[in-house]
Amino acid sequence: MNIHSIPGGKKQTRKKKHNRAKTAFVPAASLKRRVPWLIAFLAVVFLLLIARIFHLQVSSRGWYLKKAQGQWRRTTAIAASRGTIVDANGVELAANISAYKIVIWPQSAKSAEKPRIASELASLLGVDEANLISRLNSERISEYVVKRGVDKETADAVTALQLGRGVGILPDVKRYYPYHSLLSQTLGFTTVDNVGQSGLELTLDKYLTGREGKYIAETDRTGALLPDSAIEYIEPEDGCKVRLTVDSYFQSYLESALEEAVSVNNASNAQGIILDVTDGAIKAISTKPDLDLNAPPRSDLEKLAELSKNRVVTDAYEPGSTFKILTLAAALDSGSTTLSSNFYCNGGYIVGSERIKCWRHAGHGSQNLTEATENSCNVCFMQLALSMGCETFYDYLYAFGLGQSTGSGLPGEGSGIVTNGKYVKENDLARIGFGQSIAVTPIQLAAAVAAAVNGGELHTPYIVDQVISNDGKVVYEMDTAPVRRVISEETSLKLRKILQSVVDNGTGRNAKIEGYAVGGKTGTAQKYDKYGRVSVGSYICSFIGFAPADEPRYLCLILVDEPHVSSIFGSTVAAPYVRRVLSDVLTHARIPKTDFNTTTVEIPNLVGLEMQEALDKLSELGLYGLHETDEHVTVQVPAAGQLVPYGSSVLLYTGREGMNEEPDSPYMVEMPNLIGMSPIQAYDALKALGLKMQSEPADPYGEVYAQSVYAHQQVEFGSTVTVYFRSDNPILTLAPTAAPTEQPTEDPTEAPTGEPSETDAPYGPPSPAQP
């Protein structure tokens, strides 16, 4: 059909054209309105792109550069040498030796080789295989140290395994102690990574630790080093050198004596310290047994902690009679007593409603101050403490440094136990006077006595003299000025004369040294069991001595803890060792001899002789022997060839000391008659029946005049019998055959009647003390 034949067709065609024209016009207007929005959107995108580029190129440049460098660079740490520790003469006590460290480079190891690498290294080096596999498969680790301090033989064994480019052997340093166990508890040791773990190695770690160096080189895409590709080398900075006050010769003298004291007495341990009284320098300090610092028992933590314990600074104990030195110094300086003061001892002293016994129950009779100190009379020192009063006495005790750390800087130092004065009763004060109801550490007692005899000035005991940097600068130096004056020079002079008399004429005579004036004091403190009762046969035997007595230079304190010998050895156990140590020290230090009036005797060799033959030989030389059994002599103290003053005693050991064992079921034995026997005869008679002897006085002589259990009475096996020996007082010969005893208290913590004791337990029951 023709279009023209349709009615209205032309009109409709025009309308459609008009609509098309209208439709084409609408999009142009819309775009015009949206252009600003489009421009804004594009501007935002552009700005974000600029910000991202800025972030990548500027803000995070360092991070991405480091990540990129990590892919083509390898940084290897170069170990710095740990600072050395030397003695006062420059002798190295802690040094470093060359070693190797085994490392792995995960990026350089082939995937197929990784299981073999982990297996072989774990087997050879004793490390965890699963941990090595984890490290080898990590994409974040470029280098991992498998083990440090490896010796050359082990390093060669790793090389022989041919584990590929993923395993390396690099130079390293290892801590080494040339003298193995010398000064072991004080020096301490390091971890396998050369980080201080105990002792001075720990407390001075910030000085001893150096700063590691670095070696940076390029690698190829497999992680292998490119030849001659070193980019940077940073030199390691070694640690500081620490100079101690200890003299290695003095230390060896002390340790040798302590080892022998533990061995021959079968003791739990022995402790000792040597001080220079003029400035407080610690010249030697030790506890035996100890450990080899090159091979500490790391797998047994309990044993490691026990052997690493420096008991001279950590352990507090009741000092007993050695404490009387401080009581005497305070009483003289305060004017509470004079050299002409007289004291009467009838075997005890009533304080309040309590009678406190002297260690010698028969009493010492009338005596002046010097004689009372020679006799170590408890009654005298109770009266001295009470005459001063708590306030004055405590002022001196605190001035001597008790109740607080000495400030030595040694790790783990204790402060002792001093009961607050407001809680101290009269009977407590009396006991403190003779060394009970108070606890001190050995280093506290040594520092306090040093102040008492050096002219009256308290010095801080110290062991670190200097810390010297790698370039020679002194980083630290100890100030040796006195802390304070405690007593006057005049009082100190009087005290020295009295203590010299103790060695010349009293309980300390086994510390006499040919050619030198020596002062000192014995101490025998009983210990307590877990119930707070006196532990029969458990002692801490000690002696503190100084020389030359007229112008003191060195002081030595030795404690022997729980020697397995009878009380007959009481005050004689420690004194011979102090004598030996001081003799060696004075000789080495070239201190001139000043006392030429001492008659000396050379001790013969008694080892292998029958006991009676040995005793006879000593008697011919003006010496006397102490022993427990009548078998062959196996050890003697002092040793053969040593010079000792005329009248000294020699300890004779047979190897069977303390061998009597109590039976599983206690039984009764008949008490023998000991009257008229010598100390040795009485001891042997009791020992044969399984009984223990407690002698009075502690250092017995003469004949038995009384015994605490009547002859022919039944007594339980293992019991302790107190045996009384005749003195020069003729009245005592009229004493009955059994000493009067008191009714036992119902308090289970009270010390058994008739058992003289000093204690080392801070909260133990009050009991008498022996010198």
Tell me which amino acid residue 313 is.
Answer: V
The sign of the dihedral angle between the CA atoms of 446, 449, 451, 454 is negative
- Contact criterion met (CB below 8 Å) for 726 and 714: no
Residue 14, helix vs strand vs coil = helix
Q: Name residues whose C-beta falls within 8 Å of residue 298's C-beta, 6 or more positions apart in sequence.
A: 304
Q: Is 727 a catalytic residue?
A: no
d(CA 88, CA 183): 13
The sign of the dihedral angle between the CA atoms of 133, 138, 143, 147 is negative
DSSP H helical ranges for 543-599: 575-588
Q: How many helices (H) and strands (E) does the chain have?
A: 20, 31
Backbone φ, ψ for residue 737 (5° rounding): -75, -5
Q: Name residues whose C-beta falls within 8 Å of residue 717's C-beta, 6 or more positions apart in sequence.
A: 662, 663, 666, 667, 668, 669, 689, 690, 691
The sign of the dihedral angle between the CA atoms of 250, 255, 256, 258 is positive
Catalytic choice (181, 321, 334, 408): 321
- Contact criterion met (CB below 8 Å) for 720 and 707: no
Owner of token pair 């010249």: 283
The sign of the dihedral angle between the CA atoms of 374, 378, 379, 385 is positive
d(CA 349, CA 36): 113
- Contact criterion met (CB below 8 Å) for 379 and 327: no
Cis peptide preceding 697, ω within 30 of 0: yes
- Contact criterion met (CB below 8 Å) for 335 and 540: no
Q: Name residues whose C-beta falls within 8 Å of residue 244's C-beta, 6 or more positions apart in sequence.
A: 85, 86, 87, 88, 93, 200, 463, 464, 465
Pick the closest to residue 176 from 242, 106, 85, 115 (CA basis).
85
d(CA 472, CA 469): 5
Active site residues: 321
